[in-house]
Amino acid sequence: QKEVEQNSGPLSVPEGAIASLNCTYSDRGSQSFFWYRQYSGKSPELIMFIYSNGDKEDGRFTAQLNKASQYVSLLIRDSQPSDSATYLCAPRSYNTDKLIFGTGTRLQVFP
C-alpha cells in the first residue's frame, strides 16, 4: 500500500462546477495535511493546510479531513480553466516529521 494515494486522473469538470479531489493516507499518526497545486513545468505552490477534523474554507477552496478514515479532500468551487493543474496531497509523517507527497491528481476544467 502506498503511503499516500491519489487518483491520477485526469478529472475533467466544466467551468463553474465543483471539483472534488481525494486523498487517502496510511500513517495514522499524521497530524497535518497540505494541498499543493502544480502547473505543468512549474514548482508546487501551497494552496492550504488542515490540522483538525472537519472542513476548512479559504476562498473557493475547502479542505476536508477525516482522521478516523484517513481521508483528506479538496473541493474547488466555481472551477475555472485556470485551476487546471495537478493537485498534490501531502500529509506530514508523525514519525519522521517530513511531508509525504502523493503522485497528484490532474484536474482539467473545460470552458
Partner 1 sequence: KAGVTQTPRYLIKTRGQQVTLSCSPISGHRSVSWYQQTPGQGLQFLFEYFSETQRNKGNFPGRFSGRQFSNSRSEMNVSTLELGDSALYLCASSSWTEQETQYFGPGTRLLVL
Binding positions for partner 1, rule: CB under 8 A? 32, 34, 36, 42-46, 49, 88, 92, 96-104
Report which secondary-structure segment, H or E, holds 46: strand 45-50
- Least distance (Å) between residue 103 CB and partner 1: 4
Of the pair 74, 79, the CB lying nearest partner 1 is at 74
CA distances from 37 to 29, 68, 69 (A): 24, 25, 24
Which residues touch 6 (CB under 8 Å, ≥6 apart)?
A: 21, 22, 23, 87, 88, 89, 102, 103, 104, 105
Least distance from partner 1 to the Cβ atom of residue 16, Å = 30
Residue nearer to partner 1 on the CB measure, 13 or 44: 44
| Residue with smaller CB distance to partner 1, 98 or 111 | 98
